[in-house]
Amino acid sequence: MRLLLATGNPHKVDELRAALSGFEIHAFGLTDTPPETGATYLDNARIKARHARKHAPVDAWVVGEDSGIEAAALGGRPGIESARWAEDGVAALLAALAHEADRRVRYVSELVAISPNGAELRGTGMLEGVAANEPRGSEGFGYDPIVIPLGETRTVAELGDVWKSEHSHRALAARALADYLRRAR
Ligand code: ITT
């Protein structure tokens, strides 16, 4: 089954590919990208998927993903604004949590797939952890150097891409979506 992931973030394509064996996953570059004006991850994932649906080959499934990191001490911020709330999100999050005792953070990923005839499926995943005091590690992307998953001592960037393909919010969302896709096939 061929899936076109509508994203400008190549890490998302690599991670989805690693998490989903048995699916052929290609990047579908978003040109004329619609603004992510939704109030939720689901809304924004849908905006990306629907945009791709308009432009992608008619026989392929299209997929949109929206994700973010939520800090408990910040009332869930930056959340859906994670890609846009600061020029350097990692530095901004470390600064915002500098005097907070509550270091809990969680990643959320929402995937929306749209079939050739317009049927919509979704998958959601979450990864909980705490914020490190400084960045560590070199794999992954975004906030990975400062997220230590529950039960681990290393950051996601230290645990690495193979670990992410099994445990990340995106991998969990992808596997939930894959269950529906296999039934829809
Ligand atoms: P597209 O919209 O083009 O798919 P994007 O990177 O802008 O790519 P989002 O709008 O979904 O994606 O923003 C998600 C942001 O949340 C992302 O840029 C990171 O800052 C953060 N994030 C999400 N998943 C992450 C992960 O697995 N590791 C590190 N940071 C992550």
Domains along the chain? Answer: 2-184 (3.90.950.10)
Determine the distance separating the centroid of ligand 1 and the alpha carbon of 90, expressed in angstroms.
12
- Residue 5, CA distances (Å) to 50, 61, 85, 95, 173 in order: 11, 9, 24, 33, 14
Mean of the pLDDT values across residues 93-109? 98
- Specify the residue with its C-alpha closest to ligand 1, atom 6: 9
Q: What is the pLDDT of residue 34?
A: 83
Identify the DSSP state of 34. P
Least confident span in 18-32, 50-64, 113-127, 148-162 = 18-32
Distance 142 CA to ligand 1 centre (A): 7
Residue 21: pLDDT band with limits 50, 70, 90 = confident
Active-site residue list: 66
- Measured CA to CA, the distance from residue 44 to residue 145 in angstroms comes to 25
The 3-state DSSP class for residue 62 equals strand
Report the pLDDT averaged over residues 32-49.
92
pLDDT in tens, 47-81: 999 999 999 999 999 999 999 999 999 999 999 99
Å from CA of 126 to ligand 1 middle: 13
DSSP state of 96: H
Greater confidence (31 vs 182) lies with: 182
Per-residue confidence (pLDDT) for residue 35, from 0 to 100: 87
Q: Which residues lie with the beta carbon below 6 Å from any ligand 1 atom? A: 7-9, 12, 30, 36, 65-69, 82-83, 89, 107, 140-144, 168, 170
Distance 107 CA to ligand 1 centre (A): 10
Nearest CA to ligand 1 atom 22: 68
Supply the residue whose CA is at minimum distance from atom 21 of ligand 1: 68
Reply yes or no on whether the pLDDT at 32 is more than 80: no
